[in-house]
Homo-oligomer: A and B are copies of this chain.
Amino acid sequence: IKTIGVLTSGGDAPGMNAAIRAVVRRGLSRGINMKGILKGYSGLMNEEIIDMTAVDVSDTIQKGGTILYTARCTEMRTPEGQKRAAEVCKKHGIDGLVVIGGDGSFAGAQKLANLGINAVGVPGTIDLDIACTEYTIGFDTAVNTAMEAIDKVRDTSTSHERVSIIEVMGRNAGYLALWCGIANGAEDILLPEKYDFDEQKIINNIIDNRKKGKKHHIIINAEGIGHSEAMAKRIEAATGIETRATILGHMQRGGTPTCKDRVYASIMGAKAVDILLEGKSKRVICYRDGEYIDMDINEALAMKKGISEYQYEVSYSLSHNYSKNNE
Chain A contact residues, CB within 8 Å of chain B: 8, 12, 14, 21-22, 25-26, 28-29, 53-55, 58, 61-66, 69-71, 134, 140, 143-145, 147-161, 164, 179-180, 182-185, 215, 244-247, 249-256, 258-260, 262-263, 266-267, 270-271, 288-290, 292, 310-311, 314-315, 317-326
* A-B complex: 4 closest residue pairs judged by Cβ atoms: A155-B254, A152-B254, A64-B155, A53-B325
How far is B271's CA from A318's CA once the two chains are assembled, in angstroms? Answer: 12
Can you list 13 A-B pairs, Cβ within 8 angstroms, ordered by A? A8-B159, A21-B318, A29-B317, A29-B318, A65-B158, A69-B159, A69-B160, A152-B255, A157-B254, A179-B259, A247-B247, A258-B258, A270-B317
Q: Which residue of B lies closest to A315 (CB)?
A: B266
Of the candidates B160, B185, B249, B270, the one whose C-beta lies within 8 Å of that of A70 is B160
Contacts known (A158-B65, A260-B260); A25 close to B55, Cβ less than 8 A: no
Of the candidates B12, B247, B252, B318, the one whose C-beta lies within 8 Å of that of A270 is B318
How far is B92's CA from A291's CA once the two chains are assembled, in angstroms? Answer: 44
Contacts known (A179-B263, A250-B153, A267-B311); A160 close to B26, Cβ less than 8 A: no
Point out which of A61, A159, A247 has the most chain B C-beta atoms below 10 A from its C-beta: A159
Q: Is the Cβ of B250 less than 8 Å from the Cβ of A156?
A: yes
How far is B179's CA from A317's CA once the two chains are assembled, in angstroms? Answer: 34
Point out which of A153, A160, A255, A317 has the most chain B C-beta atoms below 10 A from its C-beta: A160
Point out which of A134, A143, A270, A311 has the most chain B C-beta atoms below 10 A from its C-beta: A270
Contacts known (A65-B158, A253-B156); A25 close to B134, Cβ less than 8 A: no
How far is B161's CA from A259's CA once the two chains are assembled, in angstroms? Answer: 24
Residues of B contacting A258 in the complex (Cβ-Cβ under 8 angstroms):
144, 258
Name 16 extra pairs, CB < 8 A, besides A29-B324, A70-B160, A143-B260: A21-B318, A22-B318, A25-B319, A26-B318, A28-B321, A62-B151, A65-B156, A152-B252, A152-B254, A153-B249, A153-B254, A157-B250, A182-B263, A246-B249, A260-B260, A292-B310
Q: Is the Cβ of B55 less than 8 Å from the Cβ of A325?
A: yes
Q: Is the Cβ of B326 less than 8 Å from the Cβ of A55?
A: yes
Residues of B contacting A262 in the complex (Cβ-Cβ under 8 angstroms):
147, 182-183
- A119 CB to nearest chain B CB (Å): 21
Q: Is the Cβ of A254 less than 8 Å from the Cβ of B151?
A: yes
How far is B144's CA from A308's CA once the two chains are assembled, in angstroms? Answer: 26
Q: Which residue of B lies closest to A292 (CB)?
A: B310
Q: Is the Cβ of B28 less than 8 Å from the Cβ of A325?
A: yes
Residues of B contacting A318 in the complex (Cβ-Cβ under 8 angstroms):
21-22, 25-26, 29, 266, 270
Q: Which residue of B lies closest to A31 (CB)?
A: B324
How far is B156's CA from A17's CA once the two chains are assembled, in angstroms? Answer: 12
How far is B17's CA from A158's CA once the two chains are assembled, in angstroms? Answer: 13
Point out which of A64, A158, A259 has the most chain B C-beta atoms below 10 A from its C-beta: A259
